[in-house]
């Protein structure tokens, strides 16, 4: 299932950290949405050297406009994140194009998850003997 949303500015209740995230009825829900999702991708159009590019962030980062924290995340374990960064961008985003969009990101992420799961299954078999 794919769910899209506009952005909303909010404040985390306990730390008072200024956040930006998926819009929901009432700002207090904004910081609670990313943990409930498998992945939370932040799409942001930026201009680099007079060219516009669409960045799909898959890691937490500061929004380039508001400087608020956006809690983007991928659906992979921390051990696999370096491979995701290596495939797309060390800063935690991919540049979407007509040939490489969200579908490619999701496929790569699924392949990494399958490999990690297969590695875990192999390890379990070795341990069991």
Q: Where are the domains of the chain?
A: 7-128
**What are 77-88's pLDDT values in tens digits?**
888 899 999 999
User: What value does the mean pLDDT of the chain take?
Assistant: 79
CA angle 31, 48, 54 (to 5 degrees): 45
Q: Above 90 in pLDDT, residue 54? A: yes
Distance CA 129, CA 120 (A): 14
Q: Is the confidence at residue 30, as pLDDT, over 60?
A: no
Q: Per the confidence metrics, is the pTM higher than 0.75?
A: no
**Confidence class for position 91, pLDDT limits 50, 70, 90:** very high
């Amino acid at each position: 299932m794919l769910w899209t949303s506009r952005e909303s500015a909010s404040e985390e209740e306990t730390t008072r950290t200024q956040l930006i995230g998926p819009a929901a009825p009432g700002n207090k829900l904004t910081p609670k949405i990313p943990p409930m999702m498998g992945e939370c991708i932040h799409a942001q159009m930026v201009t680099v050297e007079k060219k516009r590019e669409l960045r799909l962030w898959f890691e937490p980062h500061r929004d380039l406009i508001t400087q608020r924290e956006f809690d983007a995340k991928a659906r992979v374990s921390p051990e696999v994140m370096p491979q995701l960064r290596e495939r797309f961008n060390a800063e935690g985003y991919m540049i979407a194009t007509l040939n490489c969009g969200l579908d490619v990101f999701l496929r790569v992420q699924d392949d990494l998850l399958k490999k990690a799961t297969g590695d875990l299954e192999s390890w379990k078999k070795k341990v069991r003997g």
